[in-house]
Amino acid sequence: MTLLRRLILLSLLLTFAFPYQAFAYKVVLDAGHGGSDPGATGINGLREKDVNWDITQKVRDELIAKGYEVVLTRTDDSYWSLAQRVEFTNAQKADLFVSIHANSHPDGKTKGTMVLYYDNDYPQEDYPASETMKKLTPYSKDLAQHVLDSLLAAAGTKNLGLIPSAVYVARMGTIPSILVETAFLNQASDAALLASDSVRSKMAAGIADGIAAYTPPLFTDSLGHWAREAILRMKNKGIIEGIANRYEPERALTRAEFLTLMDRVFTFNQLKSVCEPGGTVTSIVYGCQAPAEQSYKDLPSSHWASPVFAKAKNLNLLQGYSDGTIRPDQSITRGEVAFLFDRLLQMASITTNSPPVAAASASFNDVPETLWSAKAIYALKNKGIIDGITDTAFKPSQSITRGEIAAMLNRYYQG
């Protein structure tokens, strides 16, 4: 085996053993009940809210020791409504949600462990789930199964299985969500287990191990998004990146992010600037003007995108605004994106000697042929790279979203 082959094999082995992950998954833990709401009461006088709180804290400590980022809904014995819990969770930009409860049954005999999740195959008409949660069924179910298996193994309780359920906290969120019913407070042997600190520790370890056995899907916040397939393809291709495990598909793309993407697609250092008669619109250069020599007052060399702006300047893509700014963190419009992308295609065509494509006749009501970006918009529309918001509206002045740019680049690579 050559040294190179050994190195390749070694790096593959390392990749499988320690998959690269530069961020911690974020978990929201929810201790059921609290404050004026005690939850179920045990035959031994245990209150559910106290048991839930103790196990939740133990799960938190286990997860933090495993490298997870953990946030709790209630952090003391206070009352939180179900809506508050979900609202809080939705704002966390987390990867998964686990609510921790103990159970009770009127017959006083039922015992065991169950995990509830929302299942779109068993919808309950009177309790509709959020649109996102409907699409999350397989992910929530997968999480529920891992936690159930691990909890049963750790605590030795009876297996009552996975329960498709429309409980509020499992159906109204936007991330894979489950509700764990550890054991029954009003059944003698289960209540004895829940009264034991060491059993509660085992249960917590079981829940944490189950969470650790579950791999959250890439970019949790784009699950169910219309551009998800394009987002995943462009991620696989190394063109787009997320922020930790989020993609933020509905957020406006910034100018700095756009240039970074374009550098990955076109490799700026390999392009030559295209000259045509022109001028400037906003900060975008029409033709070949001498690049402004001054540095931009809002782009310090410490800005993460400073190098790519320097390359873009060499290509005459951008020029500062008249106030001396370049506004790297400002959103970029759909018209600007079309103009710059078309310009870069032309530069790439010169490099590769492929023929330019002529502009087509107008079809968007809001893109008259006199609009500075019209030629680019119709050229890209003809190539199948961009699309309107509707058949007749392109909205050239609207910010492009990160989902839209992923879809556009996906079309470019498929074309």
| Binding residues vs Zn ion (CB under 5 A) | 32, 39, 101
Q: Could you tell me the two tokens for 101?
A: 């409860």
Cβ-based nearer residue to Zn ion, 39 or 206? 39
Q: Could you tell me the two tokens for 60?
A: 């938190």
In degrees and rounded to multiples of 5, residue 398 shows phi and psi of -85, 145
Confirm if 39 and 49 have CB atoms less than 8 A apart: yes
Cβ-based nearer residue to Zn ion, 171 or 343? 171
Residue 53, CA atoms < 13 Å, CB-side half-sphere: 17
Confirm if 410 and 404 have CB atoms less than 8 A apart: no
Shortest spacing between CB 32 and Zn ion, in angstroms? 4
Which 3 state secondary structure label does DSSP give 209?
Answer: helix
Shortest spacing between CB 155 and Zn ion, in angstroms? 17
Cβ-based nearer residue to Zn ion, 41 or 330? 41
Cβ-based nearer residue to Zn ion, 39 or 42? 39
Q: What is the DSSP letter of 222?
A: G
Confirm if 38 and 52 have CB atoms less than 8 A apart: no
Cβ-based nearer residue to Zn ion, 95 or 190? 190
Shortest spacing between CB 175 and Zn ion, in angstroms? 21
Cβ-based nearer residue to Zn ion, 193 or 240? 193
Q: Which residue has the closest beta carbon to Zn ion?
A: 101
Shortest spacing between CB 299 and Zn ion, in angstroms? 53
Shortest spacing between CB 243 and Zn ion, in angstroms? 34
Q: Could you tell me the two tokens for 293?
A: 């020599």
Confirm if 217 and 25 have CB atoms less than 8 A apart: no
Shortest spacing between CB 38 and Zn ion, in angstroms? 10
- Tokens 């290509």 -> residue: 315
- Core vs surface per residue 265-293: b (16+ CB within 10 A) or e: bbebeebeebeeeeebeebbbbeeeebee
